Amino acid sequence: MPRLFFALWPDDETRSRLAAAVESLPKLPGRLVPARNLHITLVFIGAVTAEQEQLLRTGADAIHAAAFELNLTQLGCWTHAAVAWLAPEATPPALLDLVARLQSVCREAGLAPDTRPHVPHLTLARKVRRVPAVNLAPIRWQINTFALVESAPGRTGSEYRPLAFWPLIPA
């Protein structure tokens, strides 16, 4: 069964800017997430049946939520999860609204999404317990879509593949 999650998936231009920002940092310890896999998870779902996946897609079709902008300004690290991340200076209410709607879509599909408070972060590296203090040049990312993404084991860690995108309503 595929392992799925809803995510913010960078367009090519944003992905290039993210990759350039990572390259400009002092080398992070641990295992870097390849540029092709960079994303922000909205709701992690896990393994689903074909029927549940169809319910997720139909539920996502019915979402009318606002587009928003993220301004990634923070480089940090969670020691418990051993991940280094980029995070926005503030969490836009529109992002939390989208997460809440996607959690309901999951529940309506009979799934139990993680309901801990959502802390948006873009994982840059794993097996990291500290990051250098840096002055990060802010990275602006206009969010016009959200995606359903599949996570599959790869040779060097998980590989992520967007399966479908949905538009957000321009502000």
Task: Report the interface residues with ligand 2AM, using CB under 6 A.
Answer: 5, 41, 44, 83, 114, 123, 151, 158
Longest CA span, the chain: 47
Of 69 and 159, nearer to ligand 2AM (C-beta) is 159
Nearest CB to ligand 2AM, comparing residues 103 and 151: 151
Nearer to ligand 2AM among residue 70 and residue 135 (C-beta): 70
CA distance 89 to 76: 12
Tell me the C-alpha distance between 59 and 12, whole Å: 27
Q: Considering the complex, what minimum distance in angstroms separates the CB of residue 95 from ligand 2AM?
A: 15
Least Å distance between CB 94 and ligand 2AM?
20
CB of 52 or CB of 171, closer to ligand 2AM: 52
| Ordered DSSP codes for 55-69 | HHHHHHHT---B-EE
CB of 97 to ligand 2AM, least distance (A): 19
Min separation Cβ 59 and ligand 2AM, Å: 19
Residues 6+ apart with CB under 8 A from 122: 18, 38, 39, 40, 72, 85, 86, 87
Give the span between the Cα atoms of 118 and 101, in whole angstroms. Answer: 13
